[in-house]
């Protein structure tokens, strides 16, 4: 009899304490936010504060490396970044939930409009370059080089089941198997814009937000074709064959110079102007980002911008402060 | 003259024995199907993850370098999350069950409530995520905090706890209630001193199994938008955080192959947490169980 009473009273007591802690926390956090901004205004070398971001999974590896390095420099700045995809990130950015948003495509007109309505002023910075890599199975001996028109012909929905021989009569009469990133990703949007020209992607395509699924899909099927970010190709170089587009192979050089066109694309970070002005921590983190993005991008498998570009961005950032 | 024709009996007996054997085999295959898949899963995860599992894995934050990656933020975050989910869901769930079993009258309204609680238990978790996003994150302004995620998870497992607690309360023999009333006890005294003590093993087992589900759920956290890239620990219930399944999901999506192994190591940590919780459930059940 005593046992269960002891047990329930402990459970009740501990939950009461926990719930009590919840209630008290509100005041604490609001006061601590005030002291944080006060500290920030005094301009000491060690600052504190919260920075919240979200966005593209393509940009996420760069951000993770930056956050990791930044934590070593500024221990008290708490940077939290989600990975909801470019579209999902913008949705939160428009809602005012985040201070910055990562994107693997330029912002859409509709999103600009919504940000305007929400009264959010923002600035766009480029972080690095990515080369969308089109890949096929290593045993694919025919489709080693494709033109943009051929890519379009392969990927658009035209109501027929597509065989390789439909694209070029000397190629095998076997059905093509498609793997594409999911429609919430900036990678899909970018491919849709430059290759598909706004037309629908083939219905038989397997869409996945997880790029490793695409890699596995293409490695498993001789007739498969897929595309994804350059970093995923680099990591799986030995299992996949990259397609040259208009004769150009995606490499660090061709992506940086823009020769690998139209599939070389910039990766962006969109920053809320008011967050830079009002929050020393956000300013400092974005500054750190622009100073180190090139190096971190190379580390995780993307291509750095020319250093003048970062300098220009830093000047713009100073102007916002 | 013999009353039993042995040939005939043997003939029929053989047939029955054979059919018994066949069915036994089929059922055995069915059982081993689940066991074999579990075994394969465990083997794959342990063989992949064990190399990355060391003390540093527990005490480091996430990193871009697989060898340095750790699960500290996610593990501590999940424990914080549970400290909200456990009290909220158990208190609400058990209270509801007591009301429905002991106080509520048998009428259409209460039948309707009971039916809907069972239905809620079958609603996909992502729907609860959307509910949490709309109510706790946006309407109440809790943002992506432990509190918002914890309350969402509590809603998710509440129906399961209610149903388990109802079953446990219903299993208390009616004679005990009547004996208690017969001794002059009030309803409240009967509930507190007779029914709950008898039902507590069932209630706690059900609750802990439900909590185990909450600790492994990913979909509601994804919908709420819990961050995965962070390098700090929460200090209060309104702080943002990350949780074990989110971190594992993030690692599994990485391009570098080594991160797949890191993800496996994360799964091992999650399994250890789960097994610990389940063994607590078994321990409580055995310790408090009374037989009549």
What is the ipTM metric for this complex? 0.77
Residues B192 and B83 in one domain: yes
Q: Which residues of B touch A25 (CB under 8 A)?
A: 147, 236-238
Residues B274 and B192 in one domain: yes
**CA-CA distance, A54 to A268, in Å (whole number)?**
12
Structure confidence by residue, pLDDT tens digits, A241-263: 999 998 899 998 898 888 888 89
Residue A33 lies in a domain: no
Residue A274 lies in a domain: yes
Q: Which of B175, B161, B194, B170 is nearest to B102 (CA)?
A: B170
Tell me what the mean pLDDT of segment A191-207 comes to. 88
Residue B1 lies in a domain: no
Show the tokens assigned to A238: 């030995």
What is the 3-class SS of A170-189, one letter each residue? Answer: CCCCCECEEEEECCCCHHHH
Least-confidence region, from A47-51, A180-184, B147-151, B286-290 = B286-290
Residues B137 and B196 in one domain: yes
Residues B20 and B163 in one domain: no
Structure confidence by residue, pLDDT tens digits, A23-47: 333 333 444 444 444 444 444 478 8
Tell me what the mean pLDDT of segment A131-147 comes to. 90
Our count of domains for chain B comes to 2
**CA-CA distance, B66 to A212, in Å (whole number)?**
17
Show the tokens assigned to B64: 């871009």
Residues B32 and B84 in one domain: no
Residues A272 and A123 in one domain: yes
Residues B277 and B148 in one domain: yes
Do the beta carbons of residue A89 and residue A82 sit within 8 Å? Answer: yes
Residues A137 and A110 in one domain: no
Residues A118 and A167 in one domain: no
Q: Which residues of B touch A210 (CB under 8 A)?
A: 252-253
Q: Given A249, A277, A296, which residue is the final one in a domain?
A: A249
For residue A89, the enclosing domain spans 3-11+45-129+266-320
The pLDDT of residue A39: 41
Residue A20 lies in a domain: no
Do the beta carbons of residue A272 and residue A55 sit within 8 Å? Answer: no
Structure confidence by residue, pLDDT tens digits, B51-103: 888 888 988 898 888 888 899 999 999 999 999 999 999 999 999 999 999 89
Q: How crowded is residue A194: how many other Cβ atoms within 10 Å of its Cβ?
A: 17
Taking the alpha carbons of A219, A220, A225, A229 in that order, is the dihedral positive or negative?
negative
Contact call for A18 and B84, based on CB within 8 A: yes
Can you point out the beta strands (E) in A189-291?
Answer: 206-208, 224-228, 241-242, 244-245, 264-272
Q: Tally the residues of chain A.
A: 321
Q: Please indicate if any CB of chain A lies within 8 Å of the CB of B91.
A: yes
Of A63, A81, A235, the CB nearest to B255: A235
Residues A97 and A53 in one domain: yes
Tell me what the mean pLDDT of segment B133-156 comes to. 92
Report pTM: 0.78
Our count of domains for chain A comes to 2
Residue B127 lies in a domain: yes
Contact call for B250 and A83, based on CB within 8 A: yes
Contact call for A212 and B253, based on CB within 8 A: yes
Residues B222 and B280 in one domain: yes
Q: Given A249, A281, A312, which residue is the final one in a domain?
A: A249
Contact call for B227 and A54, based on CB within 8 A: yes
Residues A137 and A233 in one domain: yes
Phi–psi pair at A127, nearest 5 degrees: -105, -40
For residue B34, the enclosing domain spans 6-52
Residues A273 and A185 in one domain: no
Contact call for A25 and B256, based on CB within 8 A: no
Please state, in angstroms and as integers, the Cα–Cα distance from residue B77 to each residue in A5, A81, A317, B206, following that order: 30, 15, 34, 23
What's the CATH number where A279 sits? Answer: 3.40.190.10
> Which parts of chain B fold into alpha helices (H)?
6-49, 55-59, 72-98, 108-120, 125-132, 146-170, 174-182, 187-190, 196-216, 219-224, 244-252, 258-288
Residues B82 and B40 in one domain: no
Show the tokens assigned to B169: 């309360």
Residues A237 and A271 in one domain: no
Q: Which residues of A touch B231 (CB under 8 A)?
A: 67-68, 70-71, 78-79
Residues in a beta bridge with A50? A78
Query: Strand, coil or helix: what is A133?
Result: strand
Work out the pLDDT band at B292, boundaries 50, 70, 90: low
Q: Which residue has the higher pLDDT, B146 or A321?
A: B146
Q: Tally the residues of chain B.
A: 292
Work out the pLDDT band at B247, boundaries 50, 70, 90: very high
Of B231, B254, B288, the CB nearest to A3: B288
Phi–psi pair at B92, nearest 5 degrees: -65, -45
Q: Please indicate if any CB of chain B lies within 8 Å of the CB of A141.
A: no
Residues B18 and B63 in one domain: no
Residues A114 and A188 in one domain: no
The pLDDT of residue A282: 93
Residues B230 and B85 in one domain: yes
């Amino acid at each position: 009899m005593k046992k269960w009473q002891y047990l329930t009273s402990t459970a009740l007591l501990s939950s009461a304490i926990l719930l009590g802690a919840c209630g008290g926390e509100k005041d604490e956090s609001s006061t601590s936010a005030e002291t944080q901004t006060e500290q920030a205004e005094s301009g000491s070398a060690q600052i504190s504060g919260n920075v919240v971001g979200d966005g593209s999974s393509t940009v996420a590896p760069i951000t993770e490396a930056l956050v990791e390095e930044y934590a070593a420099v500024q221990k008290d700045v708490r940077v939290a970044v989600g990975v909801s995809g470019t579209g999902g990130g913008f949705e939160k950015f428009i809602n005012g939930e985040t201070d910055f948003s990562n994107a693997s495509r330029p912002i859409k007109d509709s999103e600009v409009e919504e940000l305007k309505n929400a009264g959010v002023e923002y600035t766009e910075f480029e972080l690095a370059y990515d080369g969308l890599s089109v890949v096929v199975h290593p045993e694919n001996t025919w489709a080693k080089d494709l033109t943009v028109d051929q890519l379009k012909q392969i990927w658009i929905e035209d109501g027929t089941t597509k065989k390789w021989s439909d694209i070029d009569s000397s190629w095998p009469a076997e059905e093509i198997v498609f793997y594409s990133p999911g429609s919430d990703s900036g990678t899909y949007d970018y491919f849709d814009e430059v290759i598909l020209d706004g037309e629908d992607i083939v219905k038989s395509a397997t869409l996945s937000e997880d790029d490793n699924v695409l890699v596995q899909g293409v490695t498993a099927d001789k007739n498969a074709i897929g595309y994804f970010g350059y970093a995923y190709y680099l990591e799986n170089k030995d299992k996949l064959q990259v397609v040259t587009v208009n004769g150009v192979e995606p490499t660090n050089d061709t992506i940086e110079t823009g020769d690998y066109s139209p599939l070389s694309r910039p990766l962006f970070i969109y920053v809320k102007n008011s967050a830079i002005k009002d929050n020393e921590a956000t300013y400092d983190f974005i500054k750190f980002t622009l100073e180190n993005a090139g190096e971190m991008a190379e580390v995780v498998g993307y291509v750095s911008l020319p250093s003048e570009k970062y300098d220009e961005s830093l000047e713009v950032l100073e102007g916002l402060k | 003259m013999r009353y039993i024709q042995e040939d005939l009996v043997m003939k029929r007996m053989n047939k029955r024995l054979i059919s018994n054997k066949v069915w036994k085999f089929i059922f055995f295959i069915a059982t081993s199907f689940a066991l074999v898949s579990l075994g394969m899963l465990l083997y794959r995860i342990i063989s992949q993850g064990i190399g990355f599992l060391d003390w540093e894995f527990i005490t480091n934050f996430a990193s871009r370098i697989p060898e340095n990656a750790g699960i500290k933020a996610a593990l501590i975050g999940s424990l914080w999350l549970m400290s909200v989910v456990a009290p909220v869901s158990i208190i609400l769930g058990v209270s509801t069950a007591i009301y429905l079993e002991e106080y509520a009258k048998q009428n259409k309204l209460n039948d309707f409530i009971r039916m809907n609680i069972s239905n809620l238990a079958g609603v996909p978790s992502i729907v609860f995520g959307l509910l949490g996003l709309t109510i706790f994150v946006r309407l109440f302004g809790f943002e992506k905090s432990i509190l918002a995620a914890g309350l969402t998870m509590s809603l998710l497992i509440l129906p399961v706890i209610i149903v388990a607690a109802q079953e446990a309360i219903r299993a208390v023999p009616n004679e005990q209630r009547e004996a208690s009333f017969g001794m002059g006890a009030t309803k409240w005294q009967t509930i507190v001193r007779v029914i709950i003590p008898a039902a507590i093993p069932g209630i706690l087992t059900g609750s802990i199994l439900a909590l185990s589900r909450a600790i492994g759920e990913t979909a509601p956290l994804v919908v709420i938008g819990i961050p995965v890239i962070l390098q700090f620990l929460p200090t209060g219930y309104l702080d943002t955080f990350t949780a074990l399944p989110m971190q594992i999901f993030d690692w599994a999506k990485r391009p570098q192959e080594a991160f797949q192994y890191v993800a496996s190591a994360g799964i091992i940590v999650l399994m250890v947490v789960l097994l610990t919780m389940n063994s607590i459930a078994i321990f409580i059940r055995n310790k408090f169980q009374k037989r009549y």
